[in-house]
Amino acid sequence: MEPKTFVHRHRVTYAECTLGDHVYYSRYLDLLEAARGEMFRSLGQPFLDWQARGFTFPVMELQLRYHRQARYDDELSVELWLNRLDRLRLHFGCGIYRAKAELVLEGETRHVCATLEGKPRRLPAEFLEILAPFVRPSPPA
């Protein structure tokens, strides 16, 4: 079975842009965060519910590559999948596209599962099960 990809749509607001009329580079992190939140919500597992159960998913590392600029009023597709999923880590692969599948940004955000106090915590089996369809196998080396 083909791995799933979650798609979140976003229209660029004026507040997200610089004077040069393109999205300010750090705003892409906000778009990725919003997409992750919507992904979990669509799976019936909002982050707020996990937080109430004592789980957090802080970003430990990220890598982004910018390909072209998104501009005010562009409609973007933010695509997410998992490159890695184990008992402690979630690595989200991402791609942000504008009309006609033009790649704006690609990358990965690496998260760890932790307690509210920041100590590593194992993910429950139900969480791994829900996310398993979004895991893309690693390409052969």
pLDDT value of position 75: 97
58-102, pLDDT tens digit by residue? 999 999 999 999 999 999 999 999 999 999 999 999 999 998 789
Mean pLDDT of 44-57: 94
Structural domains of the chain in order of their starting residue, each with its CATH number: 9-134 (3.10.129.10)
What type of residue sits at position 75? E
Mean pLDDT, the chain, as a whole number? 94
pLDDT value of position 140: 55
Mean pLDDT of 113-119: 96
